[in-house]
Structure 1
């Protein structure tokens, strides 16, 4: 979910090829939820194998990672660890939303409204520990590096980006900017066409690049003030202040200089301790002992996971493996070209 900063920030639209040669840390949990939400049957049912096991996440990891490699992008998946205690309310709220969406999905199916059913099915997506482990196994077999964060994956990915180990963080959420990632790439793994609900109209979905330092300069604020704006709007750690939108939040922080003064002078109440929330963004729990190393593809293991264990089409997987091999070459070549340019 994260903090909604879209109307505050400027961004530029890119093609995948414009990111060629870049190492990008992908917010793994955010991305797996995308796969579970989007990769579905027309009635909203997830892709499944013959034993009823959901496979949408594996399809996304395999084919969309290949798309990135073919574009010359080198992905690194970063997985969440244990969430901070302050996030427990958000986790519970999301669980309730998914449960309600599942109920609405079933009702829409009974009425035969497939478009409505698909909408609610997407909102009901549940990511299990088993799915996460399956995804890691598949990434290992594909030779794609992944990092296990001690806590928030976006915080770890942002730390890696600011240190220069990766170029940017890829996520649909804006939180990585609060965690100090210099660059955020949205829509990286869902590029293509998206149907507008209830209309027979499709729009093109392309990657969007948000540059933190440039936005801070244009807005005339510091990163700490951006965090404070996020707190007013609502983060994963607190509810937003009722009646305060993004423009009002920016105006208040600019005028008063700090959230503390805004709270005091406007007589506002924040649902969690402000300083504690700020420290979760300013000094998150991260690790330095991670490895980013691309390995050769283990073709037999990929086939075993997808075909033998989950009934994927052998022919399609073999074609995907051929694309993966060519994609690895493209990513390696583009990285080499980037090195000589820099």
Structure 2
């Protein structure tokens, strides 16, 4: 879901060319998979599947996203979520309930032939489970892309790696990355450069947000940005009813963060959530190593096991090979 602070950030988004994104990047893996699973579907909401009925929408998304990255000299590392903090349990339970309702609504829409509603409910019912993640990791291995299992939130791990200088920036659609301290957040790295919004297809370009620009522009600290996020609601709390980003900014600047919760949500203690954003559990012993694309492994996995078009997969791999002229990634960077 992320944190709803778009109103504060709109003035600090900058469009960037793919050429400006050269180098290493930490990808919020769960966020990327959710994108692929919700968008790569048939008109009635049915995801792409192989002949055995296994979902392959995410594999298609990952394959074409990675090849686009490599063509644009981006070396990604995928970060996957670990164990959620205890105070996220309520949010997760609410999500499970909403998805269960959406699944029922999807089946009903399919039965009556309402494809528009079916597509909407299918997206709402999307789940990223262990099978999806395991298949993604296997494909990434064949593509020579490293993966890291975060101790907790993947965005926190990605932000730490960016702050540590091991990657240039974080890639995610969610603004939580900024609360976790990501110095540079990049969004909208879609292969098609298109996105469907409220029934309309719009053109989207990569955009970046520099945390320092946001903090300086609003005259706040990262700790205060976290307080704003907690007031409007995060993945770990529901926020204060009726408080949006602009109101939250005024509350924080007036020094009434804790007072506001005491008056409106007396049973909620924001301190643990704030501390989690400031000092999340992260792995510090990771190593990053990219390797050559295993052409045979990719073709066998996508085409042999999941019924992708061998001609199409090979044409994409050939395109990468022509660009590099060699078998390793070294010539791309």
Structure 2 length-normalised TM? 0.93
Contact 2:23 2:75 in 1 (8 A): yes
1:180-232 Cα deviation digits (max 9, x unpaired) = 0101111124651123434xx42101212111011000001100000000010
Partner of 1:5: 5
1:323 paired residue number: 319
Does the CA-based 8 Å contact 2:150-2:282 persist in structure 1? yes
Distance 1:66 1:208 in 2: 20
1:281 to 263, 277, 280: 277
- Match status 1:241 vs 2:237: no
Task: Give the aligned partner of residue 107 of structure 1.
Answer: 108
Q: Equivalences for 1:162-311 in 2 at 5 Å?
A: 162-189=163-190, 192-198=193-199, 201-256=200-255, 259-264=257-262, 267-269=263-265, 272-311=268-307
CA distance in 2, matches of 1:70, 1:271: 51
Residue pairs, 1:9-20, within 5 angstroms = 9=9, 10-19=12-21
Distance of 1:115 and 1:205 partners within structure 2? 23
**C-alpha separation in 2, matches of 1:95 and 1:328:** 44
Give unpaired runs (5+ residues) of structure 2: none
* RMSD value, Cα: 1.9
Superposed counterparts of 1:92-131, under 5 Å: 92-131=93-132
* Alpha-carbon separation, structure 1, partners of 2:151 and 2:228: 26
Deviation at 1:107, TM superposition (A): 2.6
Question: Is residue 161 from structure 1 mapped to residue 159 from structure 2 by the alignment?
Answer: no
Conserved 8 A contact 1:79-1:149? yes
Residues of 2 paired with 1:219 and 1:332: CA distance?
Answer: 41
What is the CA–CA distance in structure 1 between the aligned matches of 2:267 and 2:318, rounded to whole Å?
Answer: 52
Q: Does 1:146 align with 2:147?
A: yes
Shift of 1:261: 4.0
Give the direction of change, closer, same or farther, for the CA distance of 1:270–1:35 in structure 2 (3 Å limit). farther
Structure 1 unaligned residues grouped into runs of 5+: 336-342
Distance 1:121 1:327 in 2: 38
CA displacement 1:126-182 (0-9 Å, x = unmatched):
112011011101101110111111111100000000011001111111111011010
Mapping for residues 44-59 of structure 1, pairs under 5 Å:
44-59=45-60
